[in-house]
Amino acid sequence: MNVIKTIGIKKTYNPDSVPVHALNGVDLEIEEGEFTAIVGPSGSGKTTLLNIIGGLDHPTEGYVEVNGTDISTLSDNRLIEFRKQHIGFVFQSYNLIPVLTAKENVEFVMLLQNRPAAEREQRTQELLQAVGLADKIDKRPSQLSGGQQQRVAVARALAPKPKFILADEPTANLDSKSTANLLDIMARLNREEKITFVFSTHDQRVIDRASRVITLVDGKIDSDQRVQGSKDPGSQKS
């Protein structure tokens, strides 16, 4: 089952002055439960593609389907609602709200969804336990290490029970130990809960864990490989 499908995606910035062609016709299908890395040199279009898939940016041409919905035709308000219900994001810079605790950061999207208090409480406890931060529930971001902040960000992304997680360079600011811990958590969630992960990354440690590696060059897919020998057996696909 496809959770993501793009057809003929093009993205041009500054079309009226000096145009920059970030994407040049991307056709892509991501199936449920995949653990996919999108790689390529700087300027190849990785982050642009992730932003368009996630509804944070609009294509110049083409369209994007998420769970069968063409999100490129949605109004801004409907797109915001759609993202809240279906898509989780993990960013390089964590993007936690500094005045909120770990618990409050994870709860935040569920508050926007008007989830009942008891459900929010239970879900938050479960997720912080799952990412190994049950003892940090009342800590603010400034009281957490970079790796711990990114794990809170993963828990927050998972809170609304999205169909998939988009992670833009999630390990860029982490040391080796924190990266390994984070990838272990993501791989376990992929394996046990069938959560789909799509990464934009330069990090070979992420690429080594992926079951599919898509390489972008000059805004086009240069190669698309399903990796049978990834270093995380739990995320392999037959």
pLDDT at 228 exceeding the cut of 80: no
Complete DSSP assignment for 49-90: HHHHHTTSS--SEEEEEETTEEGGGS-HHHHHHHHHHHEEEE
**Does residue 165 carry a pLDDT above 80?**
yes
What whole-number distance in Å separates Cα of residue 172 and Cα of residue 68?
Answer: 32
Q: Cite the beta strand spans of the chain per DSSP E.
A: 2-13, 20-31, 35-39, 61-66, 69-70, 87-90, 164-168, 196-200, 212-217, 220-226
- What is the DSSP pairing of strand 164-168 with strand 196-200? parallel
What type of residue is 180?
Answer: A
Residue ranges of domains in the chain, CATH in brackets: 33-56+76-235 (3.40.50.300)
Is there a contact between 152 and 144 (Cβ–Cβ < 8 Å)?
yes
Which residues contact residue 167 at a Cβ distance below 8 angstroms, ignoring those fewer than 6 apart?
Answer: 89, 90, 186, 197, 198, 199, 200, 201
Q: Indicate the helix (H) or strand (E) that contains 184.
A: helix 176-193
* pLDDT of 234: 44
Q: What is the pLDDT of residue 229?
A: 54
Arithmetic mean of pLDDT, 196-224: 95
pLDDT at 17: 84
Q: What is the mean pLDDT of residues 176-197?
A: 91
Stretch 141-167: mean pLDDT, rounded? Answer: 92
What is the spatial distance between Cα 8 and Cα 170, in angstroms, rounded to a whole number? 27
pLDDT at res. 193: 85
More confident residue, 233 or 12: 12
Kindly indicate the confidence band of residue 235, based on its pLDDT and cuts at 50, 70 and 90: very low
Q: What rounded mean pLDDT belongs to the chain?
A: 90
Q: Give pLDDT, residue 89.
A: 93
- Pick 14 or 5 by higher pLDDT: 5
pLDDT at 237: 39
Label the pairing between strands 2-13 and 61-66: antiparallel
Helix axes 102-112, 117-130, angle to 10 degrees: 130
Q: What is the pLDDT of residue 84?
A: 85
Rounded distance, CA 217 to CA 104, Å? Answer: 40
Q: Please state the φ and ψ torsions of residue 148, each to the nearest 5 degrees.
A: -65, -40
Range 194-204 average pLDDT: 94
> Is residue 236 very low, low, confident or very high in pLDDT (cuts 50, 70, 90)?
very low
In the predicted model, is pLDDT for residue 87 greater than 50? yes
Closest CA to 235 of 28, 37, 66, 86: 37
From CA 132, how far away is CA 173, in angstroms rounded?
A: 19
